[in-house]
Amino acid sequence: MPSQIKTHAVRLEFEAGTLVHSNLSGAAFAGNDLWVAGDEACGLDRLRRLDPVGKEELRYGAPTNFPLADFLDLPDAADIEADIEGLALQDGYLYLVGSHGLKRKAPKSGRSARDNLKRLATVSHDGNRCLLARIPVEIEDGSSSLKRETADGRRAARLRGDELANELTRALKDDAHLAAYLDIPGKDNGFDIEGLAIAGDRLLLGLRGPVLRGWSALLELRLIEKKGELRLAEIADSGALYRKHFIKLAGLGVRDLLWEGDDLFILAGPTMVLDGAIRVFRWADAAATFAGVDAKADAVLWEQGPEQTRSLPFGAGVDRAEAITRVPDHILKERWLVLYDAPSAARHDGDYVVYGDLLAR
């Protein structure tokens, strides 16, 4: 359980032209490297571990961009953003998930009221946002790299789908709780995936939205690979391809997920575009709890579950924590890394350096 936070303890150095430094939304360690994702790009960035230059405990830089189109047959054009919201390393693969949601254009300063009203009425769908995929990772002497295919037979693959939908969104089209929200933009309390965690053969996807009368949702999935594609496998005796877990997070939506042993930690924040509480919740023994669910159940309402452990800093329009990941013990013992979207001026050191926080666990 986190007992303290050390702010600005991790220095991340990017380069001119980088798209992710101001909208970090996913993070995962592989070897000595840190992989990060942003919600306005269609690629992943690898940062190397470097010697500290100031008071920070960890420093990462020398970025290399890995376009997703080099590894996956994308559902949309290679320059269409994927809105990657979660990363997780498991069994030699780097898993990633996009928001799967619609987007609404935001008004811009300097535009006429007429133009901004038109923007506010414009809703669009980008095919690359519906990505649930895994890419092989090779690690040698602490250095990691992505591969489309490896000598030991691992291959990059994404959940079966096209530019309009994938197996998950198609399965949700008739869902009693979530179907209506597929046609609402994510930041309007519409369908919006922002968390990813993996244990064994089960994936958990955390929904930032919708939050239903204060109840947040997790989707439990099981993936199999067939003919070079990922497919949803039945997860309940009912034949359902997913299981819903409704939980109480003080009315907040999920921003990221993290397994720590058998405990599930949930980073949560407002579902709408609001300046508000960012909190970490702990679901003790969640792994055993999930294993005990009735095999016929395709939805569970948890009256007892996650409990808040701490609050994280946030500001007016800045410092929105969106990624939490475990720092490997060989790098730093008993620490988690937290990264922020829209980092404040205090988290910047020049145009392309931002700072994250360390949580003691």
Q: By C-alpha distance, which of 65, 124, 60, 72 is closest to 97?
A: 72
Domain hosting residue 160, numbered range? 4-360
CATH number at residue 336: 2.115.10
Q: Which residues have CB under 8 Å from 31's CB, separation 6+?
A: 139, 142, 143, 144
Distance, in Å, from the CA atom of 196 to the CA atom of 204, rounded to the nearest integer, reads: 6
Distance, in Å, from the CA atom of 320 to the CA atom of 340, rounded to the nearest integer, reads: 5
Q: Tens of pLDDT along the chain (361 residues)?
A: 445 899 999 999 999 877 778 889 999 999 999 999 987 789 999 999 999 999 999 999 999 999 999 999 999 999 999 999 999 999 999 999 999 999 999 999 999 999 999 999 999 999 999 999 999 999 999 999 999 999 999 999 999 999 999 999 999 999 999 999 999 999 999 999 999 999 989 999 999 999 999 999 999 999 999 999 999 999 988 899 999 999 999 999 999 999 999 999 999 999 988 888 999 999 999 999 999 999 999 999 999 999 999 999 999 989 999 999 999 999 999 999 999 999 999 999 988 999 999 999 8
- Helix ranges (H only) for 104-232 are 113-120, 167-172
What 3-state DSSP class applies to 194? strand
Q: Which residues have CB under 8 Å from 100's CB, separation 6+?
A: 129, 130, 132, 166, 168, 169, 191, 192, 193
Q: Which residues have CB under 8 Å from 17's CB, separation 6+?
A: none
Rounded to a whole number of angstroms, the CA Rg of the chain reads 19
* Reported pTM: 0.96
Indicate the number of domains in the chain.
1
